[in-house]
């Protein structure tokens, strides 16, 4: 038996043709590497492979990514110890996405998504534009992720 994180399983379903993404999302999308999933478990390619299979997406990489990704401030109890620091860390990470012209910032961690949204609100409205923060599963759903039924 093989155990998969949701991104690994989604990638597998896409590779096997058991899941298809049919809806075009014509936006620049970047990916935030969660600390545990990335640096701790080493999952870097699967989420990027999923994003790149979304029709219409232009994938843009932030300068600090993979092992060098900036933490969003959500993990390790940072918010409980110093909520202002967690918020500032999230705002810095959101700025990284804005710096590469991203219109959607995707992560595969619910805590990251929540804190990045808080960080986005910490950036003046005229500077943040219409950047959207999403979980990768939301992106797959928006892309019309449809599973193919066995015959």
Please give the C-alpha separations between residue 4 and each of 10, 13, 140, in angstroms, as whole numbers: 9, 11, 17
Q: What is the pLDDT of residue 150?
A: 57
Query: Three-state secondary structure along 16-43?
Result: CCCEECCCCCCCEEEEECCHHHHHHCCC
Mean pLDDT of all residues belonging to the chain: 93
Q: Which fold has domain 6-145?
A: Rossmann fold (3.40.50)
Interval 35-79: pLDDT, tens: 989 888 889 999 999 999 999 999 999 999 999 999 999 988 888
Q: Which of 105, 147, 110, 148 shows the shortest CA–CA distance to 123?
A: 105
User: What is the edge-to-edge ordering of all strands in the sheet holding 132-135?
Assistant: 58-59, 28-32, 104-107, 132-135
Q: What is the pLDDT of residue 9?
A: 95
Helix H or strand E encompassing 61: none
Domain boundaries, the chain: 6-145
Calculate mean pLDDT across residues 18-36: 95
Helix H or strand E encompassing 48: helix 45-52
d(CA 36, CA 23): 30
Query: Is the pTM above the cut of 0.75?
Result: yes
């Amino acid at each position: 038996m093989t155990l998969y994180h949701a991104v690994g399983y989604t990638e597998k379903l896409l590779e096997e043709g058991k899941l298809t993404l049919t809806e075009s999302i014509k936006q620049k999308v970047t990916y935030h590497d969660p600390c545990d999933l990335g640096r701790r478990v080493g999952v870097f390619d699967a989420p990027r492979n999923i994003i790149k299979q979304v029709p219409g997406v232009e994938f843009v990489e932030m300068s600090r990514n993979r092992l060098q990704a900036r933490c969003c401030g959500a993990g390790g109890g940072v918010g409980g110890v110093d909520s202002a620091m967690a918020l500032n860390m999230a705002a810095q990470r959101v700025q990284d996405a804005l710096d590469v012209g991203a219109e959607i910032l995707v992560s595969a961690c619910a805590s990251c998504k929540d804190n990045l949204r808080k960080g986005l609100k910490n950036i003046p409205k005229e500077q943040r534009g219409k950047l959207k923060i999403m979980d990768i599963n939301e992106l797959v759903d928006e892309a019309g992720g449809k599973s193919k039924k066995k015959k």
